[in-house]
Amino acid sequence: MADKTYKALLVEETEDKKYVRKLTELPVDSLPAGDVLVKVQYSSLNFKDALSASGNKGVTKQYPHTPGIDAAGVVEESASPHFKPGEEVIVTSYDLGMNTSGGFGQYIRVPAEWVVRLPKNLTLRESMVYGTAGFTAALSVYRLTGYGVTPDLGNVLVTGATGGVGSIAVSILSKMGYSVTAVNGIVDETDYLKEIGAKSIISIEEATDTGQRPMLKVLWAGVIDTLGGNILSTAIRSTAPGGGVTCCGNVTSPELPITVFPFILRGVTLMGIDSQNCPMPLRQKVWDKIASDWKIPWLDRITSETPLSDVSERIDKMLQGKSKGRTIVSLW
C-alpha cells in the first residue's frame, strides 16, 4: 500500500516533557509488522487510552504514538490463513494502543493471534460499545456467575457504575435478573443508573469505610469492583460468607488496605480480572455471550459517539472524571 495514508490521533512528547495530541496523516506503510491489516470503522474510549494520550509511561513507553486499545473493522490484507480480506473483525487488548499503533487511527496492523472474528448478531458499531470495557465487564460477570453467585443469593454491588465497565456490568447483571446496587460517581447519575437497571444506588461515601474494623456488616452476595483502594476493601469486608468479588481496576488506588479475616472467616474469594491477556478460547466464548444471552437491549442509553476529530476533548473529560457510559469513536 505504498504512498497510501490514513488519519490518526498522534500523541507527541515535546522537549520539555509535555505531551501534545494532534490529528494527522500517516503512511500505512509506517504501521508495525503484523499478519492482518484492518481498516478500522469504530474504536472506543477507555481510561487506559486517556492515560496513553497523556504520556503515562506505565501504559506507553515511547512516543510519538497512536492510542486506542479497541478497534473494529474489515480485514484489508491478511497473511494468515485464518482471516480473509472482507471479513469483519474485532481487536482488543494485548498490546494494541499501548506500544502498538492503536484504534485511534483508520488502519491497524496486528498479529493474527490478536484478532477475533465478529460474532453473529453483533455489528461492528455494537462491538465497540462493549470494547475492552464491555469485555472486561462480561468477563467479570462470567467469573462471578461461574463461581456460584446467583440472583437468589442477594444484592450484587457494582463500583464505578457510571463508567464504561461499571455501566455494562450493571446492564448485564440486571438483564440476568440480579438485584444490583450501583455506586454513583463524582457527578450524580442516579437517573442514568436506574435506566440501565440498578435497583438501588449509593454514594462513594456510603461505599467507603476507612475504619480499622477487619469485617463489616454483610451487605453483598457478590461484587464487581472497578476502582480498587478503600472501596474494594470495604466491599470485601461487606461480602457474605462464601461470596465472590471480582477486581479489574485501580482508578481509586492500587493499594488494598485489608486483613485476611474476610477470606479465612467468611470464605470470601477475590478474583482478579485480566482482560488484556485473556486466552483466546475464553475470549471468544465471552464475546459470543455478549452477542447472545448477555446482549444489552438498551445499548443506546449507555453510548455516545464522537468523530476522531473530537476524541481529544473526550479524553480530557474522562481524565476529569466527567464521562459516563461508553464513548465510541467513528473513524471515517
d(CA 28, CA 42): 17
Q: Is the dihedral of CA 254, 145, 90, 25 positive or negative?
A: negative
For residue 2, the model assigns a pLDDT of: 61
Domains in the chain, CATH or no CATH each: 5-118+298-330 (3.90.180.10), 132-272 (3.40.50.720)
For residue 186, the model assigns a pLDDT of: 80
- pLDDT digits 0-9 by tens, 184-233: 988 888 999 999 999 999 999 999 998 889 999 999 999 999 999 999 99
d(CA 68, CA 65): 10
For 240, residues 6+ apart whose C-beta sits below 8 A from its C-beta are: 153, 154, 218, 219, 220, 221, 266
- Can you count the helices (H) and strands (E) in the chain? 8, 15
Question: How confident is the chain (332 residues) per 10-residue block, as mean pLDDT?
Answer: 88 91 96 97 95 94 96 98 97 95 98 95 96 96 97 97 93 97 89 94 94 95 97 98 96 93 98 94 95 92 93 92 88 96
d(CA 258, CA 212): 9
What are the grid coordinates assigned to 135, written together?
Answer: 469485555
User: How many CB atoms neighbour CB 32 within 10 A?
Assistant: 12
Backbone torsions φ then ψ of 86, nearest 5 degrees: 100, -15
Note whether 103 and 71 are within 8 A (CB): yes
For residue 254, the model assigns a pLDDT of: 93
For 279, residues 6+ apart whose C-beta sits below 8 A from its C-beta are: none
Beta 200-202 vs 303-307: how paired, if at all? unpaired
For residue 205, the model assigns a pLDDT of: 94
Alpha helices by DSSP H, the chain = 47-52, 124-147, 164-175, 190-195, 229-237, 261-265, 280-291, 311-319
Name the pTM for this structure.
Answer: 0.91
For residue 301, the model assigns a pLDDT of: 86
